[in-house]
Amino acid sequence: MGTAIGAALERVGHVVFGVSAVSDQSVHRARTRLPESRILPVDEVAARSELLLLTVTDAELAGLVRGLAATDAVRPGTLVAHTSGANGIGILAPLTRRGATPLAIHPAMTFTGHDEDTARLANACFGITAADEIGFAIAQALVLEIGGEPVRVPEERRALYHAALAHGSNHLVTLVVDAVAALRAALAGAELMGQATIDDQPNGLAERVLAPLLSAALDNALRRGPAALTGPVARGDAAAVAEHLRVLTDVDPDIAAAYRALSLRSAQRAAQPALIDLLEQR
């Protein structure tokens, strides 16, 4: 995320003079995406920055902030922004007390470490939290500069904001991977002439079958909300759901358990009380 945002800022005229990178992967990304930047120790980057971006994991952020504060590495007046979705500006308090301006600027986007990361920022919303209107104005300007859309998130609701994003994006990946696994089992040995054989590699026949269906379902859900729900659960077809659970259990009991849990939630959304009772009893 750090090098992706840095590259996006450089494209609109900011100078990223230095980055801190430790692992081989992060060093490679820094040299590839920010070739004009020097790889420096954290305290040197912090001491020279007008805008300091902290793009470590949530678990590492508090310790990094405490370390920077303890060494007085950050000058008063420095803009210090982290990219954690789960945290607001409270976690930056040790630096705020030393005169830094705290900002929480989280891109609502998934990052894979590949070149498309920077391009995706231009279409992303950014959850921003700041201490005052001046801070909000600065954060909004930075986001708008790189083509993103700023969205205010109250300090006390950062965890809920992050939970919603994680529920939608992370669990979507698990759901799709499970669906692919089940479809691979269904299609094994049934390839048509010219099609690739079914294997466990991504981007195969099972994914091609699912891609247009999943894309349409996601589009419908975002456009139409709960009314987009279709299929046996929405129709209250208990026999079909029970058969799905049986055959999925044969493939992988864990996939069947996930299907049951999501079917129960879907039945609640679709107001199918008989199906809810059936699924709660299983």
Per DSSP, 161 falls in state H
Contact 88, 129 (CB under 8 A): yes
Of the candidates 260, 270, 279, 248, the residue with the CA atom closest to the CA atom of residue 185: 248
Q: Is the pTM of this model over 0.75?
A: yes
Q: How much of the chain is helix, strand and coil, in % rounded to 5?
A: 60, 10, 30
Neighbours of 276 (CB within 10 A): 19
Mean pLDDT of 34-45: 96
Q: From residue 193, how far is each of 186, 197, 202 by CA, in Å?
A: 17, 10, 20
What is d(CA 163, CA 47) in angstroms, rounded to the nearest whole number?
34
Quick: pLDDT tens for 234-270. Answer: 999 999 999 999 999 999 999 999 999 999 999 999 9
H/E stretch holding 54 reads strand 51-54
Q: What is the mean pLDDT of the chain?
A: 94
pLDDT at 114 over 80: no
Residue 38's pLDDT is what? 96
Dump pLDDT digits (tens) for 139-181.
999 999 999 999 999 999 999 999 999 999 999 999 999 999 9
Segment holding 206, helix H or strand E: helix 205-224
pLDDT band at 52; cut points 50, 70, 90: very high
How many other CB atoms are found less than 10 A from the CB of residue 55? 19
| pLDDT (tens digit per residue) in 175-234 | 999 999 999 999 887 665 556 666 777 888 899 999 999 999 999 999 999 999 999 999
CA–CA distances in Å: residue 173 to residues 48, 164, 218:
40, 14, 13
At 281 the pLDDT is 84
Q: What are phi and psi of 149, to 5 degrees?
A: -115, 115
pLDDT in tens, 3-18: 999 999 999 999 999 9
What is the layout of strands, in order, in the sheet containing 79-82? 51-54, 79-82, 101-107, 125-130, 149-152
